Amino acid sequence: MKKVTIAALFIGSFLFAQAQMDGKALFEAKCGVCHKVGDVEDKNSLIAPPIDRVMMHVKRSFNDKKEAIEFMKDYVLNPDANKTICPSIDIFGVMPSMKGSVTDEELDKILDYIYENFPNAQSFQHRGKGRGRGMGFRRMDSNGDGVISKEEFKAFRAQKEGIDVSKIKYDYFFNKLDKNRDGVLDKNEFREFKKVMKRESMMWENNSSK
């Protein structure tokens, strides 16, 4: 009985490893050109968020693996700005649908692989430290009028991300924070933004300590 159990565990481990290898190859072939692995020195060269950043937002939003994969599968086949959980949509816009370019089986392997392997703590071990600090309301409110405009929000984000402000083309994330739809962020809405960044910082630091 013990031998059967050991054999079953070995076979299970082998199949999991094989699936991860298949998922890695498929990710590199079908997703890796856009979603880079690890940190990228020239942020202005990116055409999509690095996969570490994508998965950080996914895991922050979904505690259950099955739910996370179901969300990702729906999103990559039927992308929509209203579904997004990544603030970087303001930079890159809505991704093109992968319908017709990937089979269900391939997509399942890709999503399982990226869920199990990202975010990569080694690649981003310093990124989360201090993330969200230095983002005082007064600092972002550069003209001192008591609210944060879209332009001020973009300028600050560009500085924090290390990109040209012209790269931030959309206002999806700003509009999500602007609960009363008056076109600016007041102090209460800004606090919600700080909470988002604090959760992101904690997730990076937790991954870095593993």
Q: Please, what are the domains in the chain? A: 2-117 (1.10.760.10), 137-208 (1.10.238)
Helix, strand, coil fractions of the chain, as percent rounded to 5:
60, 0, 40
User: Is 128 within 8 Å of 160 (Cβ atoms)?
Assistant: no
Helices 65-77 and 51-61: crossing angle, nearest 10°? 120
Does the pLDDT value for residue 77 go beyond 80?
yes
pTM of the model: 0.78
Between 104-117 and 65-77, two packed helices, what is the crossing angle to 10 degrees?
Answer: 130
Mean pLDDT of 131-158: 88
Q: Say if residues 38 and 50 touch (Cβ distance below 8 Å).
A: yes
pLDDT band at 194 (very low <50, low <70, confident <90, very high): confident
